[in-house]
Amino acid sequence: MVIGGAGLIGCNLVRALNTRGYTNIVIADHLNHPDKQKNLDALEYAEFLDKSEFRTRFLSGGQRPVTTVFHLGACSATTETNADYLNDNNLLYTQQLCEWALANEARFIYASSAATYGEGEQGYNDDDTVTPQLKPLNLYGKSKQDFDLWAMDKGLLSQIVGLKYFNVYGPHEDHKGEMRSVVNKAYRQILDTGKLQLFRSHRDNYEDGKQERDFVYVKDAVATTLYFHDHPEVSGLFNCGTGTARTWLDLAHAIFAAMGREPDIEFIDMPISIRDKYQYHTLADVKKLHAAGCTAPFTPVEEAIRDYVQNYLEKQ
């Protein structure tokens, strides 16, 4: 069962499951964008349900049990300001689904987020002693943090897996609108204008374009997710990141190189509305992930962007 199966990580996960021979898959999502339907078109699955219909079904006892629930569905907009909506859609829905999965002896693997780390005052350590101290910068991050804390308080982290995905990018993210990765936006901007705009730094200790992120190619995010599917003996809350911070300039140069163009970068002011909620540095601490046995290397930014641009974006 893949909740959010028409989304970026979700549809790539279903595709990976199909490659393994799995087709008896229930997908739940909300098709509020035509590109979400396109994400589903090449996939093999047994049933699709709207997220509301699915919620009614499992709460009423009408959903047959499954072996694994991948819960990747959420409102991921960091600019969302409706706290009641996020509390219901991201927190309560996940709580209800988690309880249903455990009651039916299903493996439960869910998406947390690196947005829970906020400014990174406590670092980016996924240790259980650090998690309660985190202070997300936006309501989206808070909704993810609230579920992590609920699962911890209930003693469920010994039974389930939460993955704190860092900055995931890759094929099949067109439906995300303003929440698309910079790689996706940049490709189209460069095609249209020949140049790329990046946010200027508004902090003295960061040069323009030197803000840092832990960029994760979606294929690596899927591989990490499937590791925990394959190892049901491992549970807990884990970072899903490369363990390497790269700058926006690194990303920009990789995009221009993949497109066979010389870099032409323009710096613009960051909107005031997001300046005090902007993360200048993220970097996954991957010691816990590696200790759990998940040690496969992540794809370097240059290689991943070349694959994304040349094998997907240029062929659309």
What are the residue numbers of the active site? 140, 176
Residue of 231, 233, 224 lying closest to 289 (CA atoms): 224
Say if residue 93 is exposed, middle or buried (CB neighbours under 10 Å; 0-12, 13-18, 19+).
Answer: buried
d(CA 6, CA 41): 10
d(CA 190, CA 177): 17
Residue of 154, 261, 166, 301 lying closest to 221 (CA atoms): 166
Please state the length of the chain.
316
Residue 65 CB contacts under 8 Å (≥ 6 apart), including other chains: 104, 105, 106
Task: Enter the DSSP assignment of 92.
Answer: I
Q: b/e string for 55-87 if b means 16 or more Cβ within 10 A?
A: beebeeeebeebebbbbbbbbbbbebeeeeebe
**Cα diameter, the chain:** 58
Position 293, amino acid:
G
